[in-house]
Amino acid sequence: MEGAPRAHESSPDRARKTPSQPYLAVLGAPGSGKSTQARILSEQLQIPRLSTGDRLRAEVAGRSELGRRVEETIARGELVPDEVIVAAVRHWLRAPDLEGGFVLDGFPRTLGQAVALDREMENLNRSLDLVLHLRVPTDEVLRRLAVRRAEHQTPGEGSASGRRVDDLPEVARRRIEAYLQDSAPLLDHYRARGILAEIDGAGPVEETSERMMAAVAGATGGPRTPPPCC
Ligand code: AMP
């Protein structure tokens, strides 16, 4: 992501962006509910969601060159190498519909990816407004993954049924361990920049999404979700 000229902080384009169309990223362990919450943010704020997991699975299903390259890594529950995912995201971020705000789901996952994203956003004359980190205890995450597995499992069916290969118990545990190891420096990075919001994601979906919306409103000056009445 090197090479392109750096945009100036006070450029007119950046000043024109409305806070109701923020650039957001949702971080969280597998099973933390990050995709559910990213979908809700996307709907409520009317901004597209870019899920790197969904995009990669589509590449695998379509047997593209990228898909063939990452298939085994995904099935093992490991992270795709930074240079591979960064190149793909760099391409995806240039889609015109992502110009006016977006919510990233599943990216960045390592400090290297975060640094690469910062550079790319600067090249595009954008900057992340807020990074929302969903905090859910590991036991609860494992329980949710077991439920997801049971919901998708019918005798004799494989991954084509919609069941995710990477939800198998041993793979799920590996993914959580990888997440815990890789996310710590990433969280420090955003904390130091003052754009990290820690969100309690252990409770019901609706409560968590209210916290997410309140955090976004607080960070961007956008409209707040009204408090529950009476
Ligand atoms: P997800 O649906 O976000 O849990 O992603 C599913 C799988 O896709 C992950 O376990 C990784 O193998 C791969 N993947 C998705 N996003 C990334 C990323 N940012 N960095 C590396 N690998 C990723």
109 is catalytic: yes
What integer is the mean pLDDT of 54-72? 97
How far apart, in whole angstroms, are the C-alpha atoms of residue 80 and residue 190? 22
Asked if residue 179 has its Cβ within 6 Å of ligand 1, the reply is no
211 as an active site residue: the answer is no
Give yes or no for residue 37 CB within 6 A of ligand 1. no
Q: Which residue's CA lies nearest to atom 6 of ligand 1?
A: 53
Long-range contacts of residues 78-86, Cβ cutoff 8 Å, at least 24 apart: 78/174, 78/175, 78/178, 79/109, 79/110, 79/178, 79/182, 80/56, 82/110, 82/112, 82/113, 82/116, 85/52, 85/56, 85/109, 85/113, 86/1, 86/112, 86/113, 86/116, 86/117
Condensed to tens digits (0 to 9), the pLDDT of residues 72-82 reads: 999 988 899 99
Q: What is the pLDDT of residues 112-158, one digit of tens each?
A: 999 999 999 999 999 999 999 999 988 888 888 888 778 766 554 44
Distance 2 CA to ligand 1 centre (A): 23
In the prediction, which pLDDT does 109 show? 93
59 within ligand 1 shell (Cβ under 6 A): no
Rounded-to-integer distance, Cα 28 and Cα 211, Å: 15
Which is the closest atom of ligand 1 to the Cα of 78? 12
Instruction: Clarify whether 175 is annotated catalytic.
Output: yes
pLDDT of residue 136: 92
Closest atom of ligand 1 to CA, residue 106: 3
Measured N-to-C along each axis, helices 82-92 and 65-76 cross at an angle, to the nearest 10 degrees, of 130
On average, the pLDDT of the chain sits at 84
**What's the pLDDT at 165?**
63
Active site residue 55: no
- Spacing, Cα 53 to ligand 1 middle (Å): 5
CA-based Rg of the chain, rounded to a whole angstrom? Answer: 18
Pocket test of ligand 1: the residue of 56, 57, 90 to mutate, having most ligand atoms within 8 Å of its CB, is: 56
Please check the confidence at residue 6 and state whether its pLDDT lies above 80: no
Q: Is the CB of 52 under 6 A from ligand 1?
A: yes
Has 17 been annotated as catalytic? no
Say whether pLDDT at 104 is over 60. Answer: yes
Cα of 229 from ligand 1 centre, angstroms = 39
| pLDDT band of 181, cuts 50, 70, 90 | confident
Instruction: Check pocket membership of 22 for ligand 1, CB cut-off 6 A.
Output: no
User: Is the bond into 48 cis (omega within 30 degrees of 0)?
Assistant: no
- pLDDT confidence of residue 157: 45
Percent of the chain clearing pLDDT 90 (strictly above): 61
| Distance between Cα 81 and ligand 1 center (Å) | 10
Distance 44 CA to ligand 1 centre (A): 24
pLDDT at 215: 97
- Answer yes or no: is pLDDT of 28 > 60: yes
